[in-house]
Amino acid sequence: MSLLYGNAVVGQSGGPTSAINATLSGVIRGAYEAHGAGIIEKLYGMKNGIEGFLREDFVSLFEIFDTPEKLQTLETTPAAALGSCRRKLKDHEKDADTFAEILRIFKKYDIRYFFYIGGNDSMDTVLKLSRYAADHDFEMRVVGIPKTIDNDLMATDHTPGFGSAAKFVATTVKEILRDVSVYTMNAVTIVEIMGRDAGWLTASAALPLLSGGMAPDLIYLPEKVFDPEKFIADVRAALEKHPAILVAASEGIKLANGHYVGEGTDSRKVDAFGHTALSGTGRVLEELVKDEIGCKVRSIELSLPQRCAAHIASLTDLRESVEVGRGGVLSAIAGATGVMMTIVRDNEGGEYSFHVGTADISKIANEIRRVPDEYINAEGNGITAAGLDYLAPLIVGEPYIEYENGLPKHFVIE
């Protein structure tokens, strides 16, 4: 395979994370290396993902990021500096015009490298574009670089962005544990954590156990059927031990009939992708405890900060997020296309280390990786030592963050 010379474009799609800009920085760093080698001439940034691409709304990333300091600030800036979109490409048979337009833009700008940072839906876009380009004899490399706080993509040990979200969740739960422990009366606090189909983020609420020994009394993941009667019995049993009970529950826990617990209060809403938008799981559990037990109870929804609290990002996650971006460029130069970058854990059991790999996207897109049984206790209300072993290294380390007038400095692309 010969070297492919031309320009590159990178975009960000789907919900933001605290680490998606670290991956953008990694792509820019990799592209600079390829630029130095004479392979990539220009690196375009598409504004608002594929939507901006179709509008030819490009910025020149080599011009914007002309010093290492700017890249460092970018790496600790939450959300998507290039903007994002929720658009998912249809099959090219059903939307031939859009695909023809994309190919026209590839040719117009001599774009030979397409990097798309996103979640499951973005990987689907990468798969379709790589196949379309190949079918139309346009030589190019299309690489997907994963991100999601949900950690639910196949083929990778974990996803960039998850470690920082997990560190936020674990830190906040640890702080809430201190807060709720100050009173002597019986009180139940329910923390609702993001995760529609997979309970990885909720499981990370158990991590304070490795840092001081306290953890939520009860943890409920979507992987196990949620039984309200068992839940009330669990809470009663916990109250026998001490007065302040902390419950961590995933927004996506479901009843035996398949309905989300969170459907109880809010009407069933559907987002742009046809996913059910959930809210109110914590409130439903709060009402349940109030009705059945009658003690003081409150619920806390961790909400958006789970995906944007970059001030408490995991250094491990940010480093890996940079490396999958950089590795995506280097893999593409080496010939990879239609692939998703992955993180490979080197040595389970020993000291944690990782390397970057690739996986065939056709085997990944639209599938969900759930928390395995071995990470969930037999009662279905806690995390096992094996689960803690898996999660623990992902939240380690604190990045250097520059503060400006008391607040973390962010890099904003106008």
Residues in the chain: 414
Interface with a second copy (CB under 8 A), residue from 84, 156, 202, 281: 84
* Nearest distance in Å: CB 270, a second copy: 13
From 149-157, 216-224, 307-315, 336-344, give the range in contact with a second copy by CB under 8 A.
307-315
Nearest to 190 by CA among 293, 328, 317: 293
**Are 317 and 160 contacting, i.e. CB atoms less than 8 angstroms apart?**
yes
Is-catalytic flag, 152? no
Under the binding rule (CB under 8 A), the answer on residue 179 touching a second copy is yes
Q: Would you say 51 or 227 has its CB closer to a second copy?
A: 51
Nearest to 25 by CA among 253, 353, 329, 237: 329
Structure tokens at 248: 């961590």
* Nearest distance in Å: CB 41, a second copy: 28
Catalytic residue of the set 91, 124, 135, 150: 150
As a whole number of angstroms, the distance between CA 24 and CA 36 comes to 18
As a whole number of angstroms, the distance between CA 111 and CA 52 comes to 15
Strands 339-345 and 141-146: parallel
192 DSSP β-pair partners: 249, 301
**Are 195 and 251 contacting, i.e. CB atoms less than 8 angstroms apart?**
yes
- State the Cα angle at 156 between 364 and 251, rounded to 5°: 80
Under the binding rule (CB under 8 A), the answer on residue 211 touching a second copy is yes
Interface with a second copy (CB under 8 A), residue from 9, 284, 308, 340: 308
From 98-106, 107-115, 309-317, 323-331, give the range in contact with a second copy by CB under 8 A.
309-317
Convert 51-79 into a string of H (helix), E (strand) and C (coil). HHHHCCCEEEHHHHCCCHHHHHHHHCCCC
Q: Would you say 374 or 402 has its CB closer to a second copy?
A: 402
Under the binding rule (CB under 8 A), the answer on residue 42 touching a second copy is no
As a whole number of angstroms, the distance between CA 131 and CA 144 comes to 13
From 125-133, 167-175, 356-364, 373-381, give the range in contact with a second copy by CB under 8 A.
167-175
From 164-172, 217-225, 228-236, 342-350, give the range in contact with a second copy by CB under 8 A.
164-172
Under the binding rule (CB under 8 A), the answer on residue 269 touching a second copy is no
Residue numbers of the site for a second copy (CB under 8 A)?
Answer: 12, 16, 48, 51, 77-80, 83-86, 167, 170-172, 174-176, 178-184, 189, 207-208, 210-212, 214, 300-301, 303-305, 307-312, 314, 392, 395-398, 403-410, 412
Annotated active-site positions, please?
150
